[in-house]
Amino acid sequence: MIQEIKNAIKEAFASEFDHQLTDDEIKIENTNPQFEGSFTFVVFPYLRVTRKKPEETAEIVGTFVKERVPEIASFNVVKGFLNFALTDASWIAVMADLLDQSELGSKTTSPQKVLVEYSSPNTNKPLHLGHVRNNLLGYSIAQILAYAGHEVNKVNLINDRGIHICKSMLAYQKLANNETPESAGIKGDHLIGKYYVEFDKAHKSELSDLMANGKTEEEAKASSRWMKEAREMLNKWENGDEEIMKLWNQLNNWVYEGFDVTYNRMGVDFNTFYKESDTYLLGKEMVQKGLKDGLFFQKDDGSVWIDLTDEGLDEKLLLRGDGTSVYMTQDMGTCELKYQDYGMDKSMYVVGNEQDYHFKVLKLIMQKMGKTYADGIFHMSYGMVELPEGKMKTREGKVVDADDLMDEMHATAKQRTLEQGKTEGLSDTELEALYETLGLGALKYFLLKVDPTKRIVFNPEESIDFQGNTGTFIQYTYARCQSILRNWSEETSLDVAIALEDSERDLIAHFFQFDSKLEEACRLYSPATVAQYLYETAKLYNSFYNQCSILKAETQEIKHLRIALTQMTARMLKLCGELLGMKMPNKM
């Protein structure tokens, strides 16, 4: 359809203006909803060729195209915008073609090997609300790219070493009295997170006592026994101290078991797990090589740096004076290891915008080291998630744990469903599964419908509503479609002679736009594009549902069309939901 219009436009310019256009020069857009039409050709860029006013150019091209493309019913001109309206028979043919497709959407003609790294938790605390947005974004981006035909692998770099890990280890060693997840009755990640908070409390109390005895804040920090012992523990760890390694392995294994439970419930997965404890040594080797090659420099205290002032940045620490690594060190090693394993074209890091500078430096370092994969490093920067009461603080225990959040979403979904009275005909087991589907669907949609670059203030109460731009409204629309389809057993066939209602035409035109929306989501790495399309699908179907009788349509031909629209809506809702990681309930 689009190609036919493009071909006719090329003919028009050749015939009427003696000018040859290529396909790439002709942009066909979806018509603005406030104007009549389906597709729009903007003539402003071609006025230097036509040497005529915008309206006159559009009229000449429109008349020429309409005479040669039978699918066009009419055209109208709004200044330099040439809007084409298709015949109802053409739209029904589009619908028939969509129904016949085993898989909706076109695949990319330039597939890439893409590595999507997301989650990246620390083993000193459970996943929290910020991690939830990270995991959902990473998983959804991977789903979208894979569906579009790219070769995608999902990886998780676990931050399992460093001073922050030693803080929770030290507090456990001093305060836990051999407490275990079983004896405490809590998940391992929550148990270790508790001792990370305990370290912060003890450290702050120590600093307060030292300052009360006359030390300045800087003096108190310098003489803190808690921090000194944490640093000593880190050095012992890097030197392979047997007792410290045993404690480290035990605590981390508890955390991993807790993470697995959270990931499974959240519905995200990974092809490969990397651990910083396995990559930092490779990073240190790369730093030493860069130092030997003159790319890096060493200061008097033995620390190693790179000077990026010529690039408008500053000097960046790569290795501490005592030989211990920093985040950049291990990220360099992980870069190299990932390329060895996957040979990817693009390596995407789904990390909050607080780390914009870090990833700019990482890419520059890899480029300066001559790594062939450096140009493919891409930071998928996203905005932070905050609560209505403000920013979360892990060290102080002021966070919303992912597990607690999912419990709250389940409970809220249950409450709202019971208030709506939408529980008829479902067993207790089915109802609990429904509450989980609705609760997590609402959470995922709320966090993914916003442009990734924007900050989010998350309020669970606002996310679950049977009306409006919510996951619950979309899921209810899917259940409505399934309820109708359960009463239909015939094979659907379409008659192109039917006159379409506006709501039917709008729905088919919307389905036709899926290709362009999928391409946009891939280009922008934006699940929000899919989420908006998903919401528009549900909204248009409900408008159609409220205006048109389906199972009691006036003729069999119209009934078949409306069932087909219902089938395609259900299919599109389920597909887009899967791209966002949302499940769709058959009954509500």
Q: What is the pLDDT of residue 34?
A: 83
Mean pLDDT, range 72-77, rounded to an integer: 94
**Final residue in a domain of this structure, among 352, 386, 420:** 386
Is 203 in the same domain as 280? yes
Mean pLDDT, range 540-544, rounded to an integer: 97
Residue 564 half-sphere exposure, CB side, CA atoms within 13 Å? 26
Q: Is the pLDDT of residue 462 over 90?
A: no
Q: Is the pLDDT of residue 272 over 50?
A: yes
Mean pLDDT, range 545-554, rounded to an integer: 95
Specify whether the CB–CB gap between 50 and 17 falls below 8 A: yes
Q: What is the pLDDT of residue 395?
A: 44
Q: Tens digit of pLDDT for each residue in 570-588? A: 999 999 999 999 999 999 8
Q: What is the pLDDT of residue 394?
A: 42
Closest residue by Cα to residue 348 from 159, 527, 150, 141 = 141
Tokens of 116: 């999507």
Is 73 in the same domain as 145? no
Is 410 in the same domain as 323? no
The residue among 54 and 34 whose pLDDT is bigger is: 54
Edge-to-edge strand list for the sheet holding 297-298: 297-298, 304-307, 315-319
Q: What is the pLDDT of residue 93?
A: 93
Is 380 in the same domain as 414? no
Specify whether the CB–CB gap between 28 and 40 falls below 8 A: yes
Residue 587 within any structural domain of the chain = no
Residue 93 within any structural domain of the chain = no
Residue 34 within any structural domain of the chain = yes
Q: What is the pLDDT of residue 421?
A: 79
Question: Angle, to 10 degrees, between the axis of helix 502-512 and the axis of helix 88-100?
Answer: 50
Confidence of residue 389 (pLDDT cuts 50, 70, 90): low
Is 330 in the same domain as 413? no
Q: Is the pLDDT of residue 396 over 80?
A: no
What percentage of residues in the chain have a pLDDT greater than 70?
98
Q: Is the pLDDT of residue 426 over 90?
A: no
State the total domains in the chain. 3
Mean pLDDT, range 526-553, rounded to an integer: 96
Residue 313 within any structural domain of the chain = yes
- CATH classification at residue 464: 1.10.730.10
**Final residue in a domain of this structure, among 386, 419, 441:** 386
Q: How far apart are CA 123 and CA 164, in angstroms?
A: 9
Is 299 in the same domain as 184? yes
Q: What distances in angstroms separate CA 153 from CA 6, 108, 145, 232, one per listed residue? A: 37, 17, 10, 38
Mean pLDDT, range 179-206, rounded to an integer: 96
Specify whether the CB–CB gap between 41 and 28 falls below 8 A: yes
Mean pLDDT, range 36-52, rounded to an integer: 92
Residue 586 within any structural domain of the chain = no
For 411-435, b/e burial (b = at least 16 CB within 10 A) is: ebbbebbeeeebbeebeeeeeeebb
Q: Is the pLDDT of residue 263 over 80?
A: yes
Tokens of 85: 């309206």
**Final residue in a domain of this structure, among 359, 386, 413:** 386
Q: Is the pLDDT of residue 88 over 80?
A: yes
Is 364 in the same domain as 422? no
Residue 522 within any structural domain of the chain = yes
Confidence of residue 384 (pLDDT cuts 50, 70, 90): confident
**Cα 465 from chain centre:** 22
The residue among 24 and 185 whose pLDDT is bigger is: 185
**In the block, residue with structure tokens 């480029």:** 367
- CATH classification at residue 277: 3.40.50.620
Tokens of 425: 């005909």
Q: What is the pLDDT of residue 319?
A: 93
Q: How far apart are CA 51 and CA 538, in angstroms?
A: 45
Is 414 in the same domain as 538? yes
Instruction: Give just the sign of the alpha carbon dihedral 220, 225, 231, 232.
Output: positive
Residue 102 within any structural domain of the chain = no
Mean pLDDT, range 370-390, rounded to an integer: 88
Is 351 in the same domain as 418? no
Q: What is the pLDDT of residue 392?
A: 42
- CATH classification at residue 53: 3.30.1360.70
Q: Is the pLDDT of residue 84 over 80?
A: yes
Tokens of 303: 């620390």
Q: How far apart are CA 91 and CA 82, in angstroms?
A: 19
Q: What is the pLDDT of residue 398?
A: 57
Is 166 in the same domain as 219? yes
Is 366 in the same domain as 412? no
Average pLDDT, the chain: 93
Closest residue by Cα to residue 287 from 307, 308, 306 = 306
Q: Tens digit of pLDDT for each residue in 464-493? A: 777 789 999 999 999 999 999 999 988 889
Q: Tens digit of pLDDT for each residue in 218-259? A: 999 999 999 999 999 998 998 999 999 999 999 999 999 999
Residue 30: which domain range? Answer: 2-86
Q: What is the pLDDT of residue 33?
A: 79
Is 476 in the same domain as 437? yes
Q: What is the pLDDT of residue 344?
A: 97
Residue 338 within any structural domain of the chain = yes
